[in-house]
Amino acid sequence: MKRYSVTVAAILTVLACTQGHAQTVDVTQPVFEETTKASDIHYVEKPVVSAVSTDTQYAPNLQVKPVAHKEKQEVAKPVLPVRIDADKMYYNDTTGRVWANGSVEVERGNQQLLSEKIEGNTKSQQYESATTYRFLEDKGVTKDLKGSRITYNAATGEAHTKDVFGYADPYWVKAEVGDFDGKTGRIEKGWLTTKHAIAFKGAPDYRVEGDYIEVFPGDKAVVHNASFYIKNKRIMSLKKYTVSLRQDKQGQVSVFSFVPRPKYNSSDGLSLTGKIDYPISEHGELFLHYTWGTNIGFKPSFGYVHFLPWGAAKVAYSRESATLNAKKVWVEKRPEVSLDTHAYHIGSTPFTARGGASYGKWYEGHITGTHAKYYGEISHDPVHMGRNTDVRFYGGYQRDYYGYNSSVRSMPYWGVGATTKIGPRVKVWAGYRQSNVSVLADSPYPFDQIDVKYNLYYGFSVQATRLDRFSLHIQKDLQNHALRYVDVTWHRDMHSFEGSLTYRTKQKKWEYTFVAKDF
């Protein structure tokens, strides 16, 4: 069957050709008739011209140049076209009403609304599907939602939907009613879970339910009358639960961070790890991060972080770990004040710069004293060499002051790393990092010492099956030509859990880890 499409620009073109003749729809005509009989009903082939809407939320690559006037200048933002495709469709020139039937697609930028029947208005950009629908963003990579009906405004992004279920990065969501006003969202009688916990038969492995959930993109989500479930067993309830959604912390925050994350490995034993981030203002939040292990005890970190336009300032009491000579070492920082910038591009070049400073008091066994540090680093956006290879360069300088023995460590460093994919199953990597600091001038704290100063590393992994991956990782110290680490690992994906078994051939010991993915 021949498909038809219409865009806002196409409608404006048709209106210009009519030169102001008033036209109305004859409602006695069949709505989806393939042969038009009146000049006011138009079938439109895919036009050459692009359509535009009045939305100003999307402004990719927007550049604002300096102007001579001191008063505030408004900059016009580019807008995106809205396109409608369907097997059968007609619209009214005068009112902008559109009726579409049969594999209907409303497309705007990276968003698509799919349904068998959609009615709407090309002037107001308001569209409604009274039947089941599917909403996609980035071809389903960031959003893939299905529901019984939806009202959607392509100009403002406002939406109202019922019986919605699907993926909205990084969560799976289900709700009786969902609303989005273009700025904030609201989910009624629904739940959230992660992609690793979703079960396509039965209940998810774990989820958080609420009477209603308020979503403030880039800031926070508030779950009212929250209940945490493992399968169908409720394990915890809270009157109100707030989770941070700050965009500068993407990938670090989970709606399940309140729930302790179970883990077992050969060094720490059985442990629980939790993260609580509680926004108290527009630019600040309190945090409590902790680890409890049968072999290591309780290791808390808590404090306050203030988000600045160009970075973040933090004051905290913390216990942190590092690995030295294949052993885990811990330090207490009580307290420490730190300031770190975001990475910024240098002009229009692919080079970026970042830096920071900190001051506090460190405790590691009998080694106690003040510690101060500042650093700066210049890096480079990944260089794409072919379709499957990325290379990255970086270099920087770090200076540490240790009150314990009044020593100073000056450490220039630089490095290069590369990764490449060989087919869909094999990944190879190699790199080199050089930290120019002598053994005598290194940190008095084992936590802060450089494990491999002239570190050449390389390795590969093979995805043997959908769930099993094997890897080999090698590290060599080129300063003394010693082969420091040769590690062979088997990684197993177990749905909402994952496990790894590593044999450290140089140390002649096994290490194994079993951990929940998403808590």
pLDDT in tens, 265-307: 887 788 888 777 777 887 888 888 888 888 888 888 999 999 8
Please indicate whether residue 331 or residue 142 has the higher confidence score (pLDDT). Answer: 331
* pLDDT recorded at residue 245: 62
Q: Is the pLDDT of residue 35 over 90?
A: no
Lowest mean per-residue pLDDT among 190-194, 385-389, 401-405, 510-514: 190-194
Please indicate whether residue 39 or residue 432 has the higher confidence score (pLDDT). Answer: 432
* pLDDT recorded at residue 78: 53
Closest CA to 127 of 102, 104, 150, 95: 150
Closest CA to 8 of 158, 155, 110: 155
* pLDDT recorded at residue 94: 84
pLDDT band with cut points at 50, 70 and 90 for residue 28 = very low
Closest CA to 117 of 94, 142, 136, 89: 89
pLDDT tens by residue, 158-178: 888 889 888 877 778 888 888
Identity of the residue numbered 393:
F
Q: Considering Cα of 245, then 250, then 254, then 260, what sign does the dihedral take?
A: negative
263 touches 272 (CB < 8 A): yes
| 456 CA to centre of own chain | 31
154 touches 82 (CB < 8 A): yes
The mean of the pLDDT values for the chain is: 78
Name residues whose C-beta falls within 8 Å of residue 285's C-beta, 6 or more positions apart in sequence.
244, 246, 277, 278, 279, 304, 305, 307
Closest CA to 306 of 334, 278, 285: 285
Separation between Cα atoms, residue 133 and residue 116, nearest integer Å: 8
497 touches 248 (CB < 8 A): no
pLDDT band with cut points at 50, 70 and 90 for residue 41 = very low
Q: Is the pLDDT of residue 263 over 80?
A: yes
* pLDDT recorded at residue 79: 58
Token pair, residue 486, equals: 């040769």
Separation between Cα atoms, residue 244 and residue 256, nearest integer Å: 11
pLDDT tens by residue, 434-466: 999 987 889 999 999 999 999 999 999 999 998
Beta-bridge partner residues of 79? none
Closest CA to 262 of 496, 467, 493: 496
115 touches 133 (CB < 8 A): yes
104 touches 118 (CB < 8 A): yes
Q: Where are the beta strands (DSSP E) in 346-464?
A: 351-364, 367-380, 383-384, 389-402, 407-422, 426-435, 454-463
66-80, 127-141, 480-494, 505-519: range with highest mean pLDDT: 480-494
Here the contacts of 157-166 (C-beta below 8 Å, separation 24 or greater) are: 157/55, 157/57, 157/182, 158/182, 159/135, 161/133, 161/135, 166/135
